[in-house]
Amino acid sequence: MKNRLSVTGKAAGTAAEASESTTRTAPAVERTTENGTGLYLPDEASVSAGTVKSDRPASFTLQNGLQVVVIPDHRTPVVTQMIWYKVGSADEPPGKSGLAHFLEHLMFKGTSKHPADEFRKAVLRAGGYQNAFTGFDFTSYFQHVPREHLGKMMEFEADRMTGLILNDEDVLSERDVVLEEFNMRVANQPGARLAEQMMAALYLNHPYGHPIIGWRQEIEKLTREDALTFYKRFYAPNNAILIVAGDVTTKEMPSLVKETFGGIPAQPSIPLQRLRPQEPTPAAQRRVTLADSRVEQPALHRYYLVPPARTAAAGEGPALEVLEQLMGGGVNSYLHLSLVVEKQLAVTAKASYQSAALDPSRFEIFAIPKPGVHLSLIEHSIDEVIADIARNPVSTEDLQRAKTRLIAQVTYAQDSQEMLAHRYGRGLTTGLCIEDIERWPDDIRAVGAQQVHEAVRKWLDKKRAVTGYLIKESTPQHWEKP
């Protein structure tokens, strides 16, 4: 290939450089090679041989609609319980952005049976930990405790599914906490503010364009009534998935779950499918520039509107995942080799594909230039890499390496109960089934060079994209107001 640096033709770099890879990257192992010390990524066979796998998950559903997934893993006497509600920020009513995340905070305020702070103290006494998080399509709560405390954790979680009690004082206080979180994570972070504006530009009609944390002026108006209405509408067993990963058996779980959750009535008003406003066909590329005096490192971001795993055509989702690895999955990726190694224009260049979503998702590119390098030059170089992949077939060696890396990431993830529970929870709440998740490695293995070629040409069209520049605010010009 004329312009592209070969993945197999470059040393992988140093351990420090390895930290530049995407979050899904499998741990690299430092080995001594004939050319010196470099990073060695084990092949698929050695990964599988060296990793203890959990048992296959089992699933059942209670009469009230609660889906339960059990992932036995007997390596340590601990368990991770995660309950996933199939509701996120994209399900909020108009004008109430941030409500799903706000309710996540309020879910720790207690019930009549278990007053505020009792749940937290019980987890601490057990020597465990807990947390929660909100996404566009889901809200999840989890605990990681010794296995003998699982029944108690289930009791707490079942109780707050319907028994949450809120008073105005707690609600107003927690709203202030969320507003402070907004200040810390968004208002005082130029990169986060750029991402917020780019999402609003990418999604012209879909609620993915609203920030998960919410718009500040709407957060300020959220009330106790808003939270309780949302809670009563969406928090029900037939809108939830309970995942238990750890030192449990599939035989013991049905009776335990039924005893704890079985008496909670279903919410009949919850629809079987979530229907949201959809995006029109993109017609023009969009640009967003955010200038801020606090910017220390300018950066370029680009978001492409692409299909998620749920709605992509056969083979298309896996092809986009392989493309992510080829383009920006670490120090051997095309973007890194071109912009960082060959042209020495950038200090980092990455790509990622958000496959887990109910509705149109994103393929993202990110680069930080070296001091003095203009972002337009970075953008031009990124476009060259994309055009090269669109013109020339990916080599067999590069394709195999990318697929091996992806499969290795998922294989290594089986070492973590939380990662296992998260993988299944995120997939199931965004429209996949257990068979889809289990089949994923085979789908990746089946990706061919032609599918990658077609994915680039079809989806990485700048008409489908928003390009964002993050720059340091300069001194106002004479015609500008100070």
Q: 17, 30, 92, 104: which is the annotated catalytic residue?
A: 104
- Distance, in Å, from the CA atom of 370 to the CA atom of 382, rounded to the nearest integer, reads 15
The DSSP secondary-structure symbol of 207 reads G
With tokens 């390098």, the residue in question is 373
Sequence-separated (6 or more) residues with CB below 8 Å from residue 125: none
Catalytic annotation present for 104: yes
The DSSP result for 394-426, as a single string, is PPHHHHHHHHHHHHHHHHHHTT-HHHHHHHHHH
Q: Which two tokens stand for residue 478?
A: 């004479």
Query: By the 8 A CB rule, do 354 and 361 touch?
Result: yes
Query: Crossing angle for the helix pair 375-391 and 316-328, nearest 10 degrees?
Result: 130
Strand order in the sheet with 465-472: 286-292, 465-472, 299-306, 361-369, 346-353
List C-alpha distances in Å: 251 to 80, 132, 215, 255, 384.
17, 28, 46, 8, 56
Exposed / middle / buried, residue 293 (Cβ in 10 Å: 0-12, 13-18, 19+): exposed
Query: By the 8 A CB rule, do 119 and 108 touch?
Result: yes
- Distance, in Å, from the CA atom of 150 to the CA atom of 36, rounded to the nearest integer, reads 49
- Distance, in Å, from the CA atom of 275 to the CA atom of 272, rounded to the nearest integer, reads 10
CB count within 10 Å of CB 120 equals 14
Half-sphere exposure of 58 (CA within 13 A, CB side): 13
Rg (CA), the chain: 24
- Distance, in Å, from the CA atom of 106 to the CA atom of 21, rounded to the nearest integer, reads 35
- Distance, in Å, from the CA atom of 228 to the CA atom of 272, rounded to the nearest integer, reads 22
Query: By the 8 A CB rule, do 85 and 240 touch?
Result: yes
Nearest Cα neighbor of 28 from 10, 45, 47 is 47
Query: By the 8 A CB rule, do 469 and 298 touch?
Result: yes
Query: By the 8 A CB rule, do 331 and 401 touch?
Result: no
Residues belonging to the active site = 104
